[in-house]
């Protein structure tokens, strides 16, 4: 429907140019909606390839203290799904080009009405969804809807995922496969997990789709190391952490992202 899915196009371009992908996670409405509105275009200018716009939820089971805190602050401001739709619609009108994925737990989407939410996401200019607590079995019933509205659904593979299931997740994931590098919740870590290389290689055996690694990446050394084995990285907590620092936070996040992108793309 409408224009081509930006995520699919971005994946194709990255493959053709053999370049690594940088995905930035931002919590909607943290520290306030106007900051999110300024931050997304600033990240695009810094060279970010994909934005993951995280919707705040009161029980974020995959998120560590940093993103939990950001979610709590946004919830206090009564941020709604309609805010996500209108924010992206506004940014698209202003010329935002990069793919934006809607990251949300399933509960808020279900509460709003799944088919209604999918239609609104498409109309607002989103390119896909990441729903960390939506397993393959439950996702199946909605996949035809996602396809109908040209939205990619990205599924997650964990270090504990069995090989047979890995293959099925990779097959059903659109755009890329999200590898969760940690056993545990999100949050900046100082080192790269020892089984990362082995697990990324195992995923490579079952899919040709790009593999992006998230959870725990917080510095240039990690970006470079992971970039050698994966097709890209997803950075969330380290970005949200910088937004807590107050004034000039948008500028500082853009500079931080820019440094990570340089390290990643030199691999």
> Do 91 and 41 touch, CB atoms closer than 8 A?
yes
Q: Counting beta carbons within 10 angstroms of the beta carbon of residue 35, is it exposed (0 to 12), middle (13 to 18) or buried (19 or more)?
A: middle
Q: Which H/E stretch holds residue 50?
A: strand 50-54
Q: Give the whole-angstrom CA distance, residue 128 versus residue 134.
A: 14
In the numeric block, the tokens 């607002």 are attached to: 124
DSSP assignment of 245-267 equals T-TTHHHHHHHHHHHHHHHHHT-
Q: Give the whole-angstrom CA distance, residue 239 versus residue 255.
A: 11
Active site residues: 52, 63
């Amino acid at each position: 429907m409408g224009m081509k899915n930006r995520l699919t196009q971005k994946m194709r371009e990255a493959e053709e140019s053999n370049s690594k992908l940088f995905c930035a996670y931002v919590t909607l409405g943290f520290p306030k909606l106007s900051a999110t509105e300024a931050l997304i275009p600033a990240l695009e200018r810094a060279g970010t390839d994909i934005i993951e716009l995280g919707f705040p939820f009161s029980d974020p089971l995959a998120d560590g203290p940093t993103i939990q805190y950001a979610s709590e602050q946004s919830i206090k401001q009564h941020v709604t799904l309609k805010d996500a739709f209108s924010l992206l619609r506004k940014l698209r009108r202003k010329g935002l080009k990069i793919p934006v994925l809607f990251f949300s737990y399933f509960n808020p989407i279900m509460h709003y009405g799944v088919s209604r939410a999918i239609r609104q996401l498409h109309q607002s200019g989103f390119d896909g969804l990441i729903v960390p607590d939506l397993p393959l079995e439950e996702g199946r019933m909605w996949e035809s809807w996602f396809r109908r509205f040209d939205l990619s659904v990205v599924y997650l593979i964990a270090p504990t995922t069995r090989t047979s299931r890995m293959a099925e997740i990779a097959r059903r994931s659109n755009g890329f496969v999200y590898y969760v590098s940690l056993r545990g919740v999100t949050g900046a870590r100082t080192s790269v997990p020892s089984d990362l290389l082995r697990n990324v290689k195992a995923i490579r055996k079952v899919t040709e789709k790009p593999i992006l690694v998230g959870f725990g990446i917080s510095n240039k050394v990690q970006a470079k190391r992971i970039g050698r084995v994966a097709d890209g990285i997803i950075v969330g907590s380290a970005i949200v952490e910088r937004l807590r620092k107050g004034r000039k936070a948008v500028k500082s996040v853009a500079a931080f992202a820019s440094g990570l992108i340089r390290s990643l793309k030199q691999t």
